[in-house]
């Protein structure tokens, strides 16, 4: 039985990680096709992206149900949620 060198082990691990990231990316793209952005339903710090001026992205909303912060929900669900909107609300 042949043992792998440290370099070969590192290369093998890097390849496995790249494959896992590729699968995760494909799964994320598949989810995005089945989901829609829903504004006004995220709890503080639970938004998927966009939380108004001075914020960057995911997890940056400061208050519950912030009208300009959104999270992904399954298509067709957003407007059934209390406060849910497919369009950004004025803060």
pLDDT digits 0-9 by tens, 38-88: 999 999 988 887 666 655 677 888 889 988 888 889 999 999 999 999 998
88: in domain: no
Question: Which domain range does residue 51 map to?
Answer: 6-80
Does the pLDDT value for residue 36 go beyond 60?
A: yes
17: in domain: yes
Name the domain count of the chain: 1
89: in domain: no
85: in domain: no
**pTM to 2 decimals?**
0.59
Contact 66, 42 (CB under 8 A): yes
87: in domain: no
1: in domain: no
Per-residue pLDDT at 51: 60
Does the pLDDT value for residue 18 go beyond 90?
A: no
90: in domain: no
DSSP letters spanning the chain: -PPPPHHHHHHHHHHHHHHHHHHHHHHHHHHHHHEEEEET-PPTT--SEEESTT--STT---STT-TTEEEEEETTTGGGSTT-BSSPPP-
Q: Specify the higher pLDDT residue, 34 or 13.
A: 34
């Amino acid at each position: 039985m042949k043992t792998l060198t440290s370099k070969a082990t590192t290369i093998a691990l890097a390849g496995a990680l790249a494959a896992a990231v590729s699968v995760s990316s494909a799964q994320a793209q598949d989810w995005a096709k089945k989901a829609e952005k829903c504004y006004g339903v995220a709890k503080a710090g639970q938004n998927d992206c966009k939380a108004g001026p001075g914020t960057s992205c995911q997890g940056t909303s400061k208050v519950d149900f912030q009208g300009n912060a959104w999270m992904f929900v399954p298509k067709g669900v957003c407007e059934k949620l209390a406060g849910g909107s497919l369009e950004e609300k004025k803060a």
